[in-house]
Amino acid sequence: MLTVDAATTPRVGRQHFPTTLPLAPREVVLTFDDGPFPPTTARVLDALRAECVRASFFLLGRNAVAYPALARRALAEGHTVAHHTYSHPLLNRMGAAQAEAEINRGMAAVDGVLYGQAKSHPVTPFFRFPGFASNAAVLDGLERRGIVVFGSDLWASDWNAMSASQELSLVLSRLEATSGGILLFHDTKAATAALMPAFLRTLKARGYRIVHVVPSSGVFADVR
């Protein structure tokens, strides 16, 4: 487990920012965007549970509202549940006020589903921009609020059409090239859900360690 605090690491992921998480070689942080969505999110959660692995899910507010049981299951099974806007717009195409309103709406929707109410500060202060489409004003505003912005170190490219075996081969080759890091999947994709059992087994067989990131505030442990 690795605690992450905006005071020391406000923005992480070398594909997008100068720094990333302080991971050792062959350590991997699993992250999933755009869910929850049936049936693929459930299949991903099944695979993670079978291998005793915890990941981070960056939820869309509209999907959390549409499928609350899946959002609550991710939290109940010990995963970090974070934020990805309400409806997945590209925020760099908006003014700062409109972008911040979209972010806040997503956070409020997710926290309302998970905890029964939403406060001014999200329970889990982690956020990822849709399409990594950030702008300086919104980034600075999130940093002032103590919210960590996640990019990634590598991704599965699962927005492209491919089979589960093709995706598995691609991800493993990228992991070998980078020796680990923050890895981006989408739990809305059928190929990703299908490859997950074999992927997790292969990681363990090759000596990778999966790191679970949590906020440093301690709130996570209290609400889980």
With respect to residue 40, please indicate whether it lies within any of the assigned structural domains. Answer: yes
Give helix then strand counts, H and E, for the chain. Answer: 8, 11
Tokens at 211, concatenated: 């790191």
Q: How many domains does the chain have?
A: 1
Q: Is the pLDDT of residue 98 over 90?
A: yes
Q: Is the pLDDT of residue 28 over 60?
A: yes
With respect to residue 9, please indicate whether it lies within any of the assigned structural domains. Answer: yes
Confidence band, pLDDT 50/70/90 cuts, at residue 216: confident
Residues 9 and 2: their CA atoms lie apart, in Å, by 12
Tokens at 176, concatenated: 């070998």
- CA–chain centroid gap for 97, Å, is 24
φ and ψ at residue 14, rounded to 5 degrees: -75, -15
With respect to residue 23, please indicate whether it lies within any of the assigned structural domains. Answer: yes
Per DSSP, the three-state class of 42 is helix
Per DSSP, the three-state class of 186 is strand
CATH number of the domain bearing residue 206? 3.20.20.370
Confidence band, pLDDT 50/70/90 cuts, at residue 119: confident
With respect to residue 224, please indicate whether it lies within any of the assigned structural domains. Answer: no
End-to-end CA, the chain: 15
Note down the domain range covering 151: 2-216
For the stretch 50-95, pLDDT in tens is 999 999 999 999 999 999 999 999 999 999 999 999 999 999 999 9
Question: CB atoms < 10 A from the CB of 162, how many?
Answer: 17
For the stretch 143-177, pLDDT in tens is 999 999 999 999 999 999 999 999 999 999 999 99
Closest CA to 28 of 210, 192, 198, 171: 210
Residue 178 · residue 153 · CB < 8 Å: yes
With respect to residue 8, please indicate whether it lies within any of the assigned structural domains. Answer: yes
With respect to residue 109, please indicate whether it lies within any of the assigned structural domains. Answer: yes
Torsion of CA 19, 21, 23, 29, to 10 degrees: -130
Strands (E), 126-193: 126-127, 148-150, 154-155, 180-186
With respect to residue 222, please indicate whether it lies within any of the assigned structural domains. Answer: no
With respect to residue 223, please indicate whether it lies within any of the assigned structural domains. Answer: no
Per DSSP, the three-state class of 193 is helix
pTM for this predicted structure = 0.95
Residue 127 · residue 86 · CB < 8 Å: no
pLDDT at 24: 97
pLDDT above 90 covers a percentage of the chain that reads 95
